[in-house]
Amino acid sequence: MGPLYPQELLKPEYNLLIGFLIGIGFGFVLEATGFTNTRKLAGVFYGYDATVIKTFFTAALTALVGLFLMHHWGWIDIYKTFYPSTFWIPTLIGGAIMGLGFVVGGFCPGTSLSAASTGKLDGLAFLAGVLIGIYGFIFTYPFWWAGLRASGKLGKVNFPQWLGIRESIFIFLFIVVAVISFVLYQKWQDHWKAKMTKDDLDELGL
């Protein structure tokens, strides 16, 4: 029963090897679906390209439903994984900074690595920025960030439980909302498509 590594059912070296293989799949999917194209990513915010929204939420929901069912079928115990703890204050502030970075830089860290690997210079510049930002954070951590990063601790919180909603109903509603937003985004994209030039359409691969 999973997760294997935290229960010492998997040797560390195999764990790293599997990490490498999963990474290959991750990078492949990101490139293949067009996440290395910064204009497609920006399409999330302006609606001219619905690809990223579709891929992103399909991934989240597939994993959510899959892990939920596997947990109940006894294939994996979600709570033996390194379940993320919630620190609401730094997550909201950090998230707001990332949102600005998304619009300014046109990537997020994972997509920029894929983009840089395939020869996109903007991805490379973004990647350099991420490392600079991390170094900057580390060196200023003791006097700028330490207190803020540890604030707002809520522990390991299951969101539907926190809301007081049955988890399965929450998941089902999430799926419904996602499918509706897929349709709306598709409409938004179609609306743009009429105005786009052939070059634009080629570049976005629509």
- Give the footprint of other proteins on residues 65-94 (CB under 8 A): 65-72, 75-76, 78-88, 90-94
Q: Does 23 bind other proteins (CB under 8 A)?
A: yes
Category of 189 on φ-ψ map: left (φ > 0), alpha (ψ -120 to 50) or beta: alpha
**Contact at 8 Å (CB) between 118 and 107?**
no
Q: Does 24 bind other proteins (CB under 8 A)?
A: yes
Out of 11, 95, 147, 187, name the contact with other proteins by CB under 8 A: 95
In three-state secondary structure terms, 118 is coil
- Amino acid identity of residue 184, one-letter, is L
Interface of this chain with other proteins, residues 41 to 70, rule: CB under 8 A: 42, 44-46, 50-52, 54-70
Residue 109's H or E segment, with its range, is helix 109-117
CB of residue 191 vs other proteins: minimum separation in angstroms?
A: 14
Closer to other proteins at the Cβ: 20 or 194? 20
**The token pair that represents 75 in the structure block:** 């294939």
- What does the alpha-carbon distance between residue 44 and residue 106 come to, in Å, rounded to a whole number? 10
Per-residue contact track with other proteins, 162 to 181, x per CB under 8 A? x---xxxxxxx--xx-xx--
Interface of this chain with other proteins, residues 110 to 169, rule: CB under 8 A: 110-115, 117-123, 125-138, 141-142, 145-146, 148-149, 153-162, 166-169
- Number of residues engaging other proteins in binding (CB under 8 A): 147
**Contact at 8 Å (CB) between 36 and 120?**
yes
